[in-house]
Amino acid sequence: MGAALSWLAAEQDVDRSLRLALAFESIYLFREAGGVGRLLETALSIPGALEHPLAPRALASAANRSISRGESPLTAYTQAKASLDLARELGVEVGIHHRLNIAATYMRSGHLEEARENALAAIELSSDEPLHATRSYVLLCALERWRGDVPAAQAAADAAEEAARRAGQPFDLAYALLVKGYAYEEAEPVAALAMYHEATRIGEERLPGGMSLVCYALANAARVHARLGQIDDMVSDLDRAVTLAAANGSREEYGTVLAIAGMSLLMVGATVEAATIFSAATQVFPVENLAMSVGVTVEDMQARLVEAIGDDALAAAWETGRSMSDREARDYALTALARVRDSAAA
């Protein structure tokens, strides 16, 4: 893929470069897999690319994917807005994929009301096409959950699952179940666990493409187990998630899994370990990019930790986590999880 695009770029073939990059973008809509974002940026750098009718969509997609690489959400937001300006300038209609990337970028950069407007516009554009509807409702569910409107998130999750089952695409069904679990996690934790486990199964059957699903579904299931006091199951899921994400996950996946591990350990009373791991997570992936993935801001997490262990202990644990390499963070997390399991069994 990369070699083909490099050749097309060298030939300054704007049309085929953009079409090739966007073909892969459609497959990996919610994951920065295979360097799709960099491919889009390469295509957009060809002289004359920004005059092509596909350029606005490509610009929005590249913005969304830059956040997954740990780059500035504010810069991504500015670029996404510029893509709409470019569409107007070129007289290009803003289609479903463009809207989805705009909504995702706005959501992940904290512009929630603007994100919601674009997610609803994507739903309107999806019409009766179940695959497009699935992706639109998945995005709306995540957005509503982050806004704190749980009933709206649950309604969107139900619609996402229904559309995904009509579409018959396993990956999209798994993402629908992943966000549905998140929407129902507090009200119906046992049902949410079943959704996470099904998403995990689908992802594991399709590795490496299912990497993101497996990492997130296992970590989210562990958080539910922690809430229910099911220590063995929490440790088992996190052990798998941390090991897999550390070895094969993206920076975003590994950072998110570590952050959720920290949240889960806090729930079961392992507060110093929780602080250390959460701090390590912020070194793997920028803290401002983590909040949307884990459902808590760093300020909120630190406030909970201060209440649990005090300022001095938090400062010491935070410094320890900040100094860890990726491998040290993995080893520390796995050791902490094993200690928690042994302590619960004693």
Q: 152-195, pLDDT tens digit by residue?
A: 999 999 999 999 999 999 999 999 999 999 999 999 999 999 99
Cβ atoms of 110 and 73 within 8 Å: the answer is yes
Q: What is the pTM of this model?
A: 0.91
* 28 confidence band (pLDDT: 50, 70, 90): low
* 8 confidence band (pLDDT: 50, 70, 90): low
Q: Give pLDDT tens digits for 86-135.
A: 999 999 999 999 999 999 999 989 899 999 999 999 999 998 899 999 99
Closest by CA to 281, choosing from 272, 290, 270, is 290
Between these two residues, 220 and 297, which has the higher pLDDT value?
220
Which residues lie closer than 8 Å to 274 by C-beta, 6 or more apart?
262, 263, 264, 265, 266, 305
Distance CA 53, CA 333 (A): 48
Domain ranges (residues) in the chain = 2-127+225-345
Distance CA 173, CA 168 (A): 8
Closest by CA to 133, choosing from 111, 161, 91, is 161
* 252 confidence band (pLDDT: 50, 70, 90): confident
The token pair that represents 186 in the structure block: 């507090």
